């Protein structure tokens, strides 16, 4: 591959607050360093369908404050097929794109990796997901904002829970990872968290109830990681059946967790990694995600960052346990 002149950028998978700040950073740092930047709309779908626009610095003006993604996003099934990838590559050739920056989570970066290897082109990833489940970076873009959003919601729920002396099961996002649930439980002063990393059975809940929560407290909040089989509704039902004396309610926060203006931390992380992506391309890096670990910018090979074993610090379980008496 010859000299890199043009860099394509896309957002893919679930949107996350701070993606716009990342788009802005890649665009501005790219132009600053003499590259042409092309925005690709609707993730890999836009790459397949040639929805591409040349970006100038004006295209990314005023977006650092905005949630969502100006490039739109999609979860493309077609891109995961050889035919879909081939169509995407045809757009790359037609648009004369020499390197690609993909902002997204686990699935999106898996696609980025396959594409980069298959077509031998430089592909760089930025960690854009509220779930914080990408290995090799301390935080992902969107995670901090979402924690703050959840915290604000749960604080409100606490007011009504206190007033009615109720138990609330609050379901939060996170797919297969408990980062949001565990940390938000600590931040909100919740009484417990139910996370995919730790088995929770009804005996544990019974033990928790028998701590005499209602004797010493006015309300009880349990933060539950979403799960198709045993989310907040499942646990609430079981508690209702086995402890009919408790007044139980469920609140599923849903997609409101993904919207909103990004926090300072997310804007800064997006800006640093966005600039890092351009630097990585200049250095000839490929097939890696730009992360920040211990305040250092790091290049994490795609094969590493999509590992499924990134787990929150187990010491947080003890913190929550000791503080929720
Ligand atoms: O990956 C981000 C995320 O918000 C997950 O936490 C959640 O499981 C999923 O996306 C929801 O996806 P969708 O918006 O497609 O329903």
DSSP string of 257-305?
A: GG-SPPPHHHHHHHHHHHHHHHHHHHTT--SEEEEEETTEEEEEEHHHH
Could you list the active site residues?
131
For the chain, what are the domain ranges?
6-142+262-307, 144-258
**Is 10 annotated as a binding-site member?**
no
Q: Same topology for domains 6-142+262-307 and 144-258, yes or no? A: yes
Query: pLDDT tens, 162-192?
Result: 999 999 999 999 988 999 999 999 999 998 9
Q: Is the pLDDT of residue 203 over 80?
A: no
Instruction: Report pLDDT for 15.
Output: 98
The phi and psi torsions of 55 (rounded to 5 degrees) equal: -105, 140
**Is 233 annotated as a binding-site member?**
no
**Is 224 annotated as a binding-site member?**
no
Sole residue written with tokens 């301390």: 138
Contacts of 73 (CB under 8 A, 6+ apart): 11, 12, 13, 14, 15, 19, 42, 43, 104
CATH of domain 144-258: 3.40.50.460
Mean pLDDT for all residues in the chain: 94
Q: Is the pLDDT of residue 324 over 90?
A: no
For the CA of 258, the nearest atom of ligand 1: 4
Query: pLDDT tens, 24-76?
Result: 999 999 999 999 999 999 999 999 999 999 999 999 999 999 999 999 999 99
Q: Tell me the mean pLDDT in the region 235-241.
A: 90
Instruction: Report pLDDT for 287.
Output: 96
Query: pLDDT tens, 276-296?
Result: 999 999 999 999 999 999 999
Sole residue written with tokens 């977006």: 63
Q: Is the pLDDT of residue 214 over 60?
A: no
Instruction: Report pLDDT for 65.
Output: 98
Instruction: State in Å: Cα 173 to ligand 1 middle.
Output: 7
Q: In which band, very low, low, confident or very high, does the pLDDT at 246 lie, cut at 50, 70 and 90?
A: confident
Query: pLDDT tens, 78-105?
Result: 999 999 999 999 999 999 999 999 999 9
CATH topology (fold) of 6-142+262-307:
Rossmann fold (3.40.50)
Q: Is the pLDDT of residue 21 over 90?
A: yes
Nearest CA to ligand 1 atom 11: 14
Nearest CA to ligand 1 atom 1: 14
Ligand 1 is surrounded, with C-beta below 6 A, by 14, 105, 129-131, 173-175, 226, 258
Which one has a higher pLDDT value, 212 or 324? 324
How big is the CA angle at 252 (ends 249 and 255), to the nearest 5 degrees? 165
Q: Is 210 exposed, middle or buried (0-12, 13-18, 19+ CB in 10 A)?
A: exposed
């Amino acid at each position: 591959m010859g000299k890199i002149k043009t860099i394509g950028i896309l957002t893919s998978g679930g949107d996350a607050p701070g993606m716009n700040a990342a788009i802005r950073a890649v665009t501005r740092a790219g132009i600053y360093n003499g590259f042409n930047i092309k925005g690709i709309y609707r993730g890999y779908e836009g790459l397949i369908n040639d929805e591409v626009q040349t970006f100038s610095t004006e295209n990314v003006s005023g977006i650092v404050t905005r949630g969502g993604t100006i490039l739109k996003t999609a979860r493309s099934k077609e891109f995961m097929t050889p035919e879909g990838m081939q169509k995407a590559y045809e757009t790359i050739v037609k648009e004369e794109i020499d390197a690609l920056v993909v902002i997204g989570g686990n699935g999106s970066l898996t696609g980025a990796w396959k594409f980069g290897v298959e077509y031998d082109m430089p592909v760089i990833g930025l960690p854009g997901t509220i779930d914080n489940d990408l290995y090799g970076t301390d935080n992902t873009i969107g995670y901090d904002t979402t924690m703050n959003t959840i915290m604000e919601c749960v604080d409100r729920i606490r007011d009504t829970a206190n007033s009615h002396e109720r138990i609330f099961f609050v379901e939060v996002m996170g797919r297969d990872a408990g980062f949001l649930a565990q940390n938000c439980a600590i931040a909100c002063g919740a009484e417990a968290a139910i996370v995919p990393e730790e088995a929770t059975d009804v005996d544990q809940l019974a033990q928790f109830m028998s701590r005499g929560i209602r004797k010493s407290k006015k309300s009880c909040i349990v933060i539950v990681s979403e799960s198709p089989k045993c989310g907040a509704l499942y646990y609430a039902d079981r508690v209702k059946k086995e402890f009919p004396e408790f007044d139980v309610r469920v609140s599923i926060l849903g997609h409101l967790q993904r919207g909103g203006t990004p926090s300072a931390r997310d804007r800064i992380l997006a800006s640093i990694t966005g600039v890092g992506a351009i630097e990585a391309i200049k250095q000839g890096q490929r097939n890696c995600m730009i992360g920040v670990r211990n305040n250092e910018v790091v290049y994490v090979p795609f094969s590493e960052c999509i590992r499924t074993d990134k787990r929150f610090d187990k010491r947080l379980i003890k913190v929550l346990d000791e503080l929720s008496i």
